[in-house]
Structure 1
Amino acid sequence: MFKIGALALALSIQGASGSATARALANGSNDAHPSLALSDLERALTINNRYRGLVNVPERPFWLTGANAFAYRRTSHGEQQFMRVDAATGLKRAAFDQARLAAGLNEASHKSYQAGDLPFERFELTEDGRRLDFLIEQVRWSCDVASYACTSTKLDVEAPEFQLSHYYTPPAENIPDQRSVSPDGKWIVYIKNYNVFLRSKDGLQDVALSRDGSEGNYYVFSTLNWSPDSRHLAAYRVRPGYKREVPYLDSSTDRLQREHSTLVYPKPGDVLPLPQPVLFEIASQRQVAIDDALFSNPFELSPLRWWADGRGFTFEYNQRGHQLYRLVEVDAATARARSIIDETSKTFVDYQPLVMDQEGTGKIFRYDVDDGKEIIWASERDGHEHLYLFDGRTGALKNQITSGEWVVRGVNHVDPVKRQIWFEASGMNPGEDPYFVHAYRIGFDGEGLTELTPEPANHHVEFSPDGRYYVDIWSRIDLPPRMTLYRAIDNAKLMQVETADTSELVAAGWQPPLSFHAKGRDGKTDIWGVIHLPANFDPKKKYPVVENIYAGPQGSFAPKSFSRRTEPLTQLGFVVVQIDGMGTNNRSRAFHDVAWKNLKDAGFPDRILWHKAAAARYPWYDISNVGIFGWSAGGQSAVGALLFHPEFYKVAVANSGCYDNRIDKIWWNEQWMGWPVGIEYSQSSAIDNAYRLRGKLMIVVGEMDHNVDPSSSLQLADRLIKAGKDFDMVYVPGADHGAPGIYTERKLLDFFVRNILGQTPPDWHAKRTELQKSKSSR
């Protein structure tokens, strides 16, 4: 009974906050802060909707298939427009008739989409130019550009295109009607009785190529892969791993009763599927064994890829524990496996693809030159992400292509004839924000490095499929976007496509954040972040500080490009900051390694020094009662701030956090926390360290969170109760990851107003506000 009563008290949204005003003032809150009215909080919740239509902001362009043209979406006066630009002529026009498309889409979907708010960001144009294809949620739509009649196909979200991964193992299926035809058209292969069968086109021959398949170790049809010369076939045989499922009960349905469902959700330490590549020789109709010594403990194996001349195939071996990533080749004539390139690390190999995405990128890039005679490969082996040229036949390193104390952030285009690479990188220019991305060109031999984007800003370029043109879109947090078209051969500027105008936005009260940097824990490395100033900022006053944290090692998160978005808390008189401490991505290898087996660190030693430096620089920057909030990995860090650094952080809101990395998804957590699961998981666990809690904490969790197992939040609550700790909890029925919606946003505002400003939030029930009339209460 005691536990039930305690939980009921903890779940009471305002429980444990009865004397919040007195406590917040004792913690150093600014008692001179003006009293807030309900209209102030309403403004905070709606400010970004107001700003949305006040500036024309172009988004990233994308090139259209079969045309020397690119398209992009822009927002103008609150409406979204898709534009198309012909690179050769410079003609800019509407990409399609949005009103007719909306009408056709509404007729086919029985929805009410608006022409100025179509529910997709990009589209594909078929090669004949007659149809537009795009995705809405998990449905692929195709619309005729003459009649605007639309049809749809639902995607199978459970089955990836390559049906074999650490999180998805296809079921054992025997469907003879599923067939793969050889390139020369003479043979058909299919799966029967868990084995691979070969049938001649005339049907006279029908033989089993394999006999070792079984219900517990079977061949997967989607992995069948013919050699280009039709002489060999390769495939994966897979032994399934442990199928862990997370149960869900959805209490917020259209029915009276709860609905039960499950989600396949591997967690750290689980037994994984074991794929084994297998080679078949068609002429002799026999299976040839491949020794797995070079890939015996896979976290994952990539799809099989044949060389064009049929001499063999390759795959990439990601060893469990992520300290070895290997490019393996199998010789078709002998079935001998060899390692072409080994990527090793004493901490982790960031095995996700190298892509130009600040908030989520790995370090793996491979480009085969002349059917694998040479291979361009990305690596951090010298301490920074750079490009290397390998001999594909011998595996020998020919030369390092890029080098220096800066990092390659993406490869845009490779010209194997001119032997040139166009790529994006950051950190090359002294005195500039080291996260600013610029575009460059360089030769395979490492000579002729040329900068293409000299403006001190954050750039992104998109190349036409034929490499003749590129579009550069660039901005800064204080500079709205520009979009320019260039010719690649001589970098000649062909057209100024877009220049955003912020005059209306500034007139409405928008102000850009400040960029700020200070030395980190080593006394040498600059830590960069941004400061969002409060509305009606007066430098003669003092303002309380709240940190918006996300410290996931997969990216960096302090904004570098322009955004009209403002932090809602600034409308209530708070300074809000975002910082990239050590352990995050897009800097040096040593900077990144801080996260390894140590997610509780979250860069806090750097963040605290950054805050203190900002307070020393700016008299208005008040760190006497610092708050912090975050969601997902940021939620984990927000709780960690109160557990491991309560001398500095006093108030936290943690939304949808993974509070013990053993409870969360396998890929993200084994990548950073390592495998086998060790004591480090417990050391970083908020659940195991719940007894340390000091300060004011609010936990937010969605009942149907499919990203982070919601039991993580409930286990943290249970452990806090057992430790006798006071906290608030918001449990949102039916909500997914982040528990999005006005209700949770409002609870966050209220919590900081109460526990930092020391004020009682206005009564939301006092009157029916415009916000309540136009928004859901959740």
Structure 2
Amino acid sequence: MKTFVLAALASLFTAGTAAAQNEYAEIARLRDLNETVRGIRSMNDGEHYTVLESGDIVRYRYAEAGRGVSLLPQPKPGMEITDYAFSPDERQLLIASGRTPIYRHSYTTRYYLSDGSALSPVLTGAEAPRDATFSPDGRMIAYSDRNDLYLWEIAAGKTRRITTDGVWNEVINGTTDWVYEEEFGFTRAYAFSPDSRRLAYLRFDESAVPLMEMMRYDGKLYNRAFSFKYPKAGERNATVQLWVADLTTGEKTRIDTGPESDQYIPRIGFTPDGRLWFYRLNRRQNTFEMIVCEPHGAQRTAYEERAQQYVERVDGSTITFVDRDRFLVRQESHTGYMHLYLYSLRSGLLSQVTRGDWEVTRVVGTDGKRVWYLSTETSPLRRNLYSVRLDGRDKRRLTPGEGYYDIAPSRGMKYYISTFSNASTPNRVEIADGSGRAVRTLCESRELRDELAASRRPVREFFTFTTERGDTLHAWIVRPRDFDPAKRYPVLLTQYSGPGSQQVRDRWSLDWEDALVDKGYVVACTDGRGTGFRGEKFKKQTYGRLGALETEDQLSFARHLASQPWVDPDRIGIYGWSYGGFMALSCALKGHGLFRVAIAVAPVTSWRYYDSIYTEIYSNLPQYNAAGYDDNSPLNFARMLDDGRTRLLLIHGTADDNVHFQNTAEMARALNRAGKRYDMMIYPDQNHSMQPDDTHNVRQKMIDYTLQHL
């Protein structure tokens, strides 16, 4: 009898689990129906573009529909095209095939060269090639291999080694270290001069950076440690130098980047007329300069920006060259909103190009007379494309839709490909000319639209609410089908809340939380103080005390929803990942039982454990702001968890190189010492995104947990 009962229970559990596994699978299936166009590249004439299609690279005309032309007439069977680039004369294609990840952006790959008639492997002598690109004259390919920089001479089929001192965890040439890759968002740390005679590159000496050891299990008999250099807040960064190699003589010259060694050089390049430039950013990240090196050796500051707290994170689009003398800068320090300014290398500031209580989010392109840009002018929740003359006159809105646009421009801005969506409309991809006139539609997710309409899938509703402190916050809510305001519903809050981020935006999306809506739950989200696209003042008020104001705002949002007659105030939950995990955990500990469920995935539990660049820009160094690091650390509030009321689930991957498993391990230690009960889900050998194996599993786990406990 006992055996029979156990078998029956096991059978029921298996059947229930199988049914549950379909919930996220259905969400993933619908997401896959949201159409897009992959691998868009404009060709030099501005009249043609290429895309990735079924393992091929296909060329089309912008102006008219027609059958595309395959550029790989002899594709390699089973080839996975990870990336591709044209040679400057467009007679050859450099193709990256396959991807062996290193960190979030970096990977090694296999490279092939195609001239349209044959596809040949190149860089074959390299052990782990990465970050390859053509020289401007098309005769060479630069690449990195095992921390050194190399050149492949195409005609001769020979390799030339540029640097020789690269050593794992000690010296890196031509690519970035972990923290530059993660926080400055680039890995290719070299640049050719326009005449292909010089190669500038960054050299990272990370020998003094503290070593992080991340345990790997990999199903083997003995586990092993993966060691890499990771500078945590207040600790030693790599010393970064700028070098230039003369490719004719072989001589290498170190460029003076100033007396301060503890600084950042987050971008390098050459002006259109061949002058070397580099960004310089102090460690506090509140002084930013673009330095231009003159041919005779002198240097001058072509642009400088200072801020009391910090200069917004600089990247490759912070400065855009218009021609040999003029460049555009996107910055917020002058007016408190992110706008465009036109500068001259010779004369300094020429004009303010855009102005208003809204923000330019991206420079799309320029033809030397006008600039095309995306902005929040219609709403902080939306993005539209505009063009304006470089003197700030004759502004035109080019995109008609009310929602969110992404833009892929052609050379010279003759055309652009727009991807549009809003809360109720999946992707529609269209071509327009530079004046905004529609040319044709490439795809519009018709199958997905029909399914969404047939199933009456609920749509996000946007609103604002005012906290007890008088702050007005943007929010959205999704209600179940057949919502009845006379009933009471459980609610899950989903959020991220990090500085400058945005979760409340008018863009189509679907994720695991929507499976809860199908089960009769309400899902809601708000962007609290410190989030982005509402001006510098709103964003920077969380400076120096991460987690304090953001937690107040999420608690206010929960109380606001709890006061609604259609909400069950005893069944409110909160979820977040990464910074959002830090917030979900903070709310669970400080909520005094307000939340029935809290799910924290890969949470930061002390900002002392996180990297230097990200943490210090928002909190200064811990040596100068210890309270800002400790006063809101969840580790110090473990005793406040009302575990009789709040079910807490901690989730983490053991191979998370970003937010280290250390964060969750120390949180578990603090909760254990406080005698608190909690749940934990560990994903062996998975990174910050729960890859390579468990992206679906973790989401289904969160669905199951919420359904069971909320």
- How high is the TM-score relative to the length of structure 2? 0.78
Aligned positions of 1:477-496 closer than 5 A: 477-488=423-434, 490-496=435-441
Q: 1:115 corresponds to which residue?
A: none
Moved more, 587-596 or 640-649: 640-649
Aligned positions of 1:5-20 closer than 5 A: none
Moved more, 555-564 or 404-413: 555-564
Q: 2:280 corresponds to which residue?
A: 317
CA distance in 2, matches of 1:388, 1:585: 20
Q: What one-letter code is carried by the residue in structure 2 that aligns with 1:500?
A: S
Q: 1:545 corresponds to which residue?
A: 491
- In the alignment, structure 1 segments of 5+ residues that lack a partner are 1-35, 109-118, 163-168, 182-187, 195-215, 355-363, 757-778
User: Is the contact between residue 363 and residue 374 of structure 2 (CA under 8 Å) also seen in structure 1?
Assistant: yes
User: Is the contact between residue 521 and residue 606 of structure 1 (CA under 8 Å) also seen in structure 2?
Assistant: no
Q: 1:70 corresponds to which residue?
A: 49
Q: 1:689 corresponds to which residue?
A: 637
CA distance in 1, matches of 2:342, 2:301: 16
| 1:48 corresponds to which of 27, 33, 38 | 27
CA distance in 2, matches of 1:193, 1:85: 45
> Relative to structure 1, is the Cα distance of residues 516 and 137 closer, same or farther in structure 2, using a 3 angstrom cutoff?
farther
User: Is the contact between residue 61 and residue 471 of structure 1 (CA under 8 Å) also seen in structure 2?
Assistant: no
CA distance in 1, matches of 2:195, 2:117: 43
Aligned positions of 1:452-463 closer than 5 A: 452-463=398-409
Percent of aligned pairs sharing the same letter: 21
CA distance in 1, matches of 2:444, 2:147: 55
Moved more, 142-151 or 562-571: 142-151
> Relative to structure 1, is the Cα distance of residues 734 and 239 closer, same or farther in structure 2, using a 3 angstrom cutoff?
closer
Does residue 1:744 correspond to 2:707, yes or no?
no
| 2:229 corresponds to which of 257, 261, 264 | 264
> Relative to structure 1, is the Cα distance of residues 42 and 439 closer, same or farther in structure 2, using a 3 angstrom cutoff?
same
> Relative to structure 1, is the Cα distance of residues 145 and 722 closer, same or farther in structure 2, using a 3 angstrom cutoff?
same
| 1:340 corresponds to which of 302, 306, 309 | 302
Between the two structures, name the one with larger relative contact order (CA 8 Å, sep ≥ 6).
Answer: 1
> Relative to structure 1, is the Cα distance of residues 151 and 517 closer, same or farther in structure 2, using a 3 angstrom cutoff?
farther
Does residue 1:275 correspond to 2:240, yes or no?
yes
Q: 1:642, CA displacement in angstroms?
A: 1.4
Q: What one-letter code is carried by the residue in structure 2 that aligns with 1:326?
A: E
Q: 2:683 corresponds to which residue?
A: 732
Q: Structure 1, residues 72-114: CA drift from partner, whole Å, max 9, x if none?
A: 679xxxx99998642133325596899x96xx443x6xxxxxx
Does residue 1:753 correspond to 2:707, yes or no?
yes
Q: 1:11 corresponds to which residue?
A: none
Q: 1:674, CA displacement in angstroms?
A: 2.0
> Relative to structure 1, is the Cα distance of residues 95 and 630 closer, same or farther in structure 2, using a 3 angstrom cutoff?
farther
Q: 1:437, CA displacement in angstroms?
A: 0.3
Q: Structure 1, residues 686-742: CA drift from partner, whole Å, max 9, x if none?
A: 123323323321111222222221111101101111122221122222332244355
CA distance in 1, matches of 2:705, 2:289: 49
User: Is the contact between residue 279 and residue 288 of structure 2 (CA under 8 Å) also seen in structure 1?
Assistant: yes
Moved more, 386-395 or 718-727: 386-395
- What's the C-alpha RMSD, in Å, of the aligned pairs? 4.4
Does residue 1:247 correspond to 2:213, yes or no?
yes
> Relative to structure 1, is the Cα distance of residues 398 and 725 closer, same or farther in structure 2, using a 3 angstrom cutoff?
same
| 2:350 corresponds to which of 390, 398, 403 | 398
- In the alignment, structure 2 segments of 5+ residues that lack a partner are 1-14, 101-108, 134-143, 154-159, 176-188
Does residue 1:421 correspond to 2:371, yes or no?
yes
CA distance in 1, matches of 2:113, 2:247: 43
Q: Structure 1, residues 237-280: CA drift from partner, whole Å, max 9, x if none?
A: 76545232222332342x33323322322211121233355799
User: Is the contact between residue 471 and residue 483 of structure 1 (CA under 8 Å) also seen in structure 2?
Assistant: yes
User: Is the contact between residue 551 and residue 586 of structure 2 (CA under 8 Å) also seen in structure 1?
Assistant: no
CA distance in 1, matches of 2:408, 2:174: 36
CA distance in 1, matches of 2:36, 2:520: 31
User: Is the contact between residue 105 and residue 149 of structure 1 (CA under 8 Å) also seen in structure 2?
Assistant: no
User: Is the contact between residue 63 and residue 465 of structure 1 (CA under 8 Å) also seen in structure 2?
Assistant: no
User: Is the contact between residue 247 and residue 261 of structure 1 (CA under 8 Å) also seen in structure 2?
Assistant: yes
User: Is the contact between residue 58 and residue 69 of structure 2 (CA under 8 Å) also seen in structure 1?
Assistant: yes
Q: 1:89 corresponds to which residue?
A: 64
Q: 1:352 corresponds to which residue?
A: 314
CA distance in 2, matches of 1:80, 1:48: 26
CA distance in 1, matches of 2:30, 2:192: 55
> Relative to structure 1, is the Cα distance of residues 44 and 248 closer, same or farther in structure 2, using a 3 angstrom cutoff?
same
Does residue 1:498 correspond to 2:443, yes or no?
yes
> Relative to structure 1, is the Cα distance of residues 376 and 503 closer, same or farther in structure 2, using a 3 angstrom cutoff?
same
Q: What one-letter code is carried by the residue in structure 1 that aligns with 2:263?
A: F
CA distance in 2, matches of 1:596, 1:564: 31
Q: How many residues matched?
A: 644
Secondary structure at 1:423's aligned position in 2?
Answer: strand
User: Is the contact between residue 290 and residue 337 of structure 1 (CA under 8 Å) also seen in structure 2?
Assistant: no
Aligned positions of 1:233-244 closer than 5 A: 240=206, 242-244=208-210
User: Is the contact between residue 240 and residue 261 of structure 2 (CA under 8 Å) also seen in structure 1?
Assistant: no
Q: What one-letter code is carried by the residue in structure 1 that aligns with 2:667?
A: L
Q: 2:381 corresponds to which residue?
A: 435
CA distance in 1, matches of 2:507, 2:516: 21
CA distance in 2, matches of 1:375, 1:518: 41
User: Is the contact between residue 172 and residue 205 of structure 2 (CA under 8 Å) also seen in structure 1?
Assistant: no
User: Is the contact between residue 58 and residue 72 of structure 1 (CA under 8 Å) also seen in structure 2?
Assistant: no
Q: 1:301 corresponds to which residue?
A: 265
Q: What one-letter code is carried by the residue in structure 2 that aligns with 1:368?
A: F
- How high is the TM-score relative to the length of structure 1? 0.72
CA distance in 2, matches of 1:450, 1:470: 15
| 1:715 corresponds to which of 663, 666, 672 | 666
Q: Structure 1, residues 29-82: CA drift from partner, whole Å, max 9, x if none?
A: xxxxxxx976763443332145356x56234672343563335679xxxx9999
> Relative to structure 1, is the Cα distance of residues 82 and 638 closer, same or farther in structure 2, using a 3 angstrom cutoff?
farther
Q: 1:472 corresponds to which residue?
A: 418
